[in-house]
Copies of this chain bind each other. A is one copy, B any other.
């Protein structure tokens, strides 16, 4: 029970048609290979959550974004830590999309289509709750 709590972040990058950018986990990952996810990752020691959201998005997609609001939060347990995952809405401000080796495909996906996709188990409920709240089911 004495595992520490760590913060991680995701960017829900929306376009004008309320589609979100999702990227597909590649075979270099140990878990959830083939699952679609929002860009993001761990907040580093001493780093604030907003900077981490921008940095992880840049590392994983080469895109520059600005945060526009809160999308949601969830928590899950890992072997040595509990993770609080904070998901922030964002919009593109620059860059050309280029994936790192952690992902092998991307899509601008209507929120209503998330429910038909392979999603990481730990974030699935949050992603579908968000899609439902935004009211854009197909």
Which residues on A are within 8 Å of B, measured CB to CB?
A: 1-2, 4-7, 43, 45-46, 48-50, 66-70, 72-75, 82, 84, 86, 88
Contacts and interface: CB of A to CB of B under 8 A. Distances in A.
B46 A46 contact: yes
**So how many copies of this chain end up in the complex?**
2
Nearest to A84: B70
A74 B50 CA distance: 15
Nearest to A7: B49
Contacts of A70: 73-75, 84
Given A7-B50, A69-B75, 11 more contacts: A2-B66, A5-B67, A6-B48, A45-B48, A46-B46, A49-B49, A70-B84, A72-B73, A73-B73, A84-B88, A86-B86
